[in-house]
Structure 1
Amino acid sequence: MKPQIPTPTPFANWPDTLIDPARFRDEQTRLARIWTFLGFTHDVAKDGDWFRATIATRSVFVQRLGEELRGFENRCAHRSFPLRNADKGNGPIVCGFHHWRYDKNGEVVEVPQCALFGPSPGELAARLNPIEIDTCGSLIFGRFAPPGSGPSLRLYLGESFDILAAISATSVAPRFVTRSVEANWRLCFHANVEDYHGPIIHARTLGKSGYPRPERTHYFRFGWHSAFFANPDPDGLTRMAAECRNGTWRSANYRVFQIFPDLTVSHVRVHWENWFVVVVQYAPVSPSRSVMRAWYYRAPFPPRVPPPWYDRLTRPLTNLVRRLVMPYLVRMVLDEDNFVCERQQSIAQQLSPAPILGALEERLAWYEEAYAEAMRAS
């Protein structure tokens, strides 16, 4: 993070994809081939469990079938009726329109009145459109791409893979909040990937301590991703990854990871030495609308600083208070950002194609460089 005279550089497709449906569709077609966060393994713990998600506006579902996790586009091969019409559930893959049934490979195995189509379901050669699925700890990612056509998930996440695997190792299902945001997904992510707005927009919450001080913080860039640590150690990312691998890392310092294209994972102290993980995604819906999905849970590490005696003594009571307060706190902080994004979206056609960025917005510049590269590569 080095203060410098900013040199405005145009953002790719900006602000076109915020206002032009055709440009937005082209963008999403390219992003569909990139590893995208879908949900947690906690929601598919039992055989037959499934949950619905999206990849670049396209509805998909992930399901546990035996010992395997499989993912498919959420539409029947017959007449494209959505196979999953709730957020989560359990049961076989059966279309609710005409009762076509599919196996774990997405191949149709049962068709009512099959003689109307041919001798047997197998001869129809009808199958669901698969998505490639992989996991990092309890985090499930997916993409529309043939296996082997791009980097593995481990390679894609780089140094953050072992960190995210460890930080997601919660024994209880994360709690979940969601809301619709009347703003483009990229605008929403911009608010998560810079540190200049905190004392103004989050004056009552995360920004109470003022602007981050460069001598006490450090930015990291790895692949298309970035991280902010409230710790100046230039080797902090590598050190944290090593400690997460060997199980010795302990909760200390606020830190946040931004994973391209739309995932933010924050490690934050809520009260005394009580640390939480907050996972946020802005799923694109249209040029001017997104869906915020947020999960939170207690960090799965002991604190590096031993809790004071009064924390330990009152924890049964304060844990109850935190359980009641956390949904409100998570919504409040995120809504502070969402409000700003919705105001920007209201004049999207007037947004400067080359914003002026300062040192505390360096990670936003990195993000836009990654976006431009993704648009060229896909």
Structure 2
Amino acid sequence: MLKTVLPPACYTEQSWFDLEREKLFGQLWLFAGFTYQLSVDNSFITRRLNGMPVLVQNCKGQIRAFRNACAHRGMPIQTEPCGTRKMICPYHGWGYDGEGALRGVPNGTLYGMCQAEKDELRLQGFAVVKIGIFVFVNLSAEPINIDDQYDEAVQRALLAISANAAPQASYTHFEKRFNWKLNFENILDWNHFQFIHPNSFAALLEYEPSGALKRPNSQRSHWFGPEGELGEVQMPSGHQDLNQLNLRDISRVIQAQLPYEPRWFSSLIEHTADPGAFLNLHLFPNLNIGSLNGETFYVQQLCPASPNTTDVHSWVFTARLKPDAAFAPHLLWGMHHAEMNVIQEDAVLLVQLQEALESADTVGVLGSQENHLAAMGIWYMNHLKGTTEQ
């Protein structure tokens, strides 16, 4: 049995939340959106990441990211969640180029600025990395290498999903009253499936007599078979060395056996990449990606809003459809309905857990199968405080 690492205060107190914003979400790579949302010149996404208004825009084929705030009065350059529009402030018409430099000031003589002053005005830029269809932004002035956050197995899995993903997605977001870490820990904790989701998600999976998830037979998988792009990816063992941890150890690629039966839409799918398997990516700090048989996919992002509230962003999409198959919006609606049901089953208990931690002296204990939760806690404490002591 393992001692818990994180104190209750890190789930409930503002001081910990502020430290997370500085040392986690202000330093690590954060998921911002998908490349298919940025497929043409001047297409854009706006997000609020770590409390920061962020604009990601296609600038003549290059994906750029900026603080979504005009250098004049701080007005957002783009005011919609996504769309196609040049980087021109809607308030006073100031325009910017793909490097964030000021390139147009209507009624410019009114401002009394010389050219040198105009040349100094620009949008605050952020680093951007694309891995397949997934776009990540780093808000730090000195961003870490994304290879230091996500290892080769994670990046190869993202590329495999990207190669099979359809460009149509269903998206929603909502607020839940619990700390983001409770949800991320819940994602790491496969043992809760049978108890919280007995008639939904758990009913799809198969288990060993011990209660552990069964590993799938990779011979049928186009991803994990001998010739597959993920054939050499090693699944994490149940136990990590808690004395030697780095950031890349916190994110994981796991598989479980999910018996494959063709569904009504399977004949529409161009390529069933992973029959018989559930693939799950736990990407620290706040991203959860899953695939069922390589036919359907979900993405969840847990954005901290306060110590006890989380903005949950949810996307679902299918594998690419055959060229002659018509897009079926009702398919995505049904997928999202099922996904939301699983999310809500978790949320009911996580809200109560959050309330219980408000007055707790300790979180409790961890079983040996929760070694990866302890690993996350140890890295978190070392990074934020330089110690694992409560």
> What is the TM-score normalised by the length of structure 1?
0.79
Which segments of 5 or more consecutive residues in structure 1 lack a partner in the other structure?
A: 1-5, 232-246, 303-315
Match for residue 36 of structure 2 among 39, 42, 65: 42
The equivalences for 1:189-208 within 5 A come to 189-208=184-203
**Inter-CA distance 72–127: structure 2 relative to 1 (3 Å threshold):** same
CA distance in structure 2 between the aligned counterparts of 1:347 and 1:99, rounded to whole angstroms: 50
The equivalences for 1:121-270 within 5 A come to 123=118, 125-146=120-141, 149-153=143-147, 156-169=150-163, 170-208=165-203, 213-214=211-212, 216-217=214-215, 219-220=236-237, 223-230=249-256, 250-269=274-293
For the Cα contact (< 8 Å) 1:41–1:139, is it kept in 2?
yes
CA distance in structure 2 between the aligned counterparts of 1:26 and 1:360, rounded to whole angstroms: 29
Match for residue 328 of structure 1 among 333, 337, 340: 337
For the Cα contact (< 8 Å) 1:44–1:50, is it kept in 2?
yes
1:89 aligns with 2:83: yes
**Inter-CA distance 268–65: structure 2 relative to 1 (3 Å threshold):** same
Question: Which range moved further: 134-143 or 122-131?
Answer: 122-131
Which segments of 5 or more consecutive residues in structure 2 lack a partner in the other structure?
A: 216-234, 241-247, 258-270
For the Cα contact (< 8 Å) 1:282–1:292, is it kept in 2?
yes
Question: Which range moved further: 211-220 or 113-122?
Answer: 211-220
CA distance in structure 2 between the aligned counterparts of 1:301 and 1:90, rounded to whole angstroms: 25
Deviations 1:214-268 (A, max 9, x none): 483464575331233226xxxxxxxxxxxxxxx9964431121101100111122
Partner of 1:288: 308
For the Cα contact (< 8 Å) 1:37–1:141, is it kept in 2?
yes
CA distance in structure 1 between the aligned counterparts of 2:335 and 2:346, rounded to whole angstroms: 17
CA distance in structure 1 between the aligned counterparts of 2:368 and 2:72, rounded to whole angstroms: 53
SS at match of 2:343: helix
The one-letter code of the counterpart of 2:303 is A
**Inter-CA distance 353–130: structure 2 relative to 1 (3 Å threshold):** farther
For the Cα contact (< 8 Å) 1:8–1:354, is it kept in 2?
no
The one-letter code of the counterpart of 1:347 is A
Partner of 2:56: 62
CA distance in structure 2 between the aligned counterparts of 1:82 and 1:17, rounded to whole angstroms: 32
Match for residue 21 of structure 1 among 1, 10, 14: 14
The one-letter code of the counterpart of 2:36 is H
**Inter-CA distance 264–97: structure 2 relative to 1 (3 Å threshold):** same
The one-letter code of the counterpart of 1:338 is A
CA distance in structure 1 between the aligned counterparts of 2:56 and 2:307, rounded to whole angstroms: 26
> What is the TM-score normalised by the length of structure 2?
0.77
Deviations 1:189-220 (A, max 9, x none): 12211012212211221123686644834645
The one-letter code of the counterpart of 2:168 is A
Partner of 1:244: none
User: Offset of 1:153 from its aligned partner?
Assistant: 4.5
1:367 aligns with 2:365: no
Deviations 1:73-94 (A, max 9, x none): 1222222222232211111112
Paired-residue identity, %: 21
CA distance in structure 2 between the aligned counterparts of 1:162 and 1:26, rounded to whole angstroms: 31
SS at match of 2:312: strand
RMSD: 3.0
For the Cα contact (< 8 Å) 1:52–1:60, is it kept in 2?
yes
The one-letter code of the counterpart of 1:177 is T
User: Offset of 1:330 from its aligned partner?
Assistant: 0.9
The one-letter code of the counterpart of 2:100 is G
For the Cα contact (< 8 Å) 1:134–1:153, is it kept in 2?
no
CA distance in structure 2 between the aligned counterparts of 1:85 and 1:15, rounded to whole angstroms: 38
CA distance in structure 2 between the aligned counterparts of 1:166 and 1:358, rounded to whole angstroms: 33
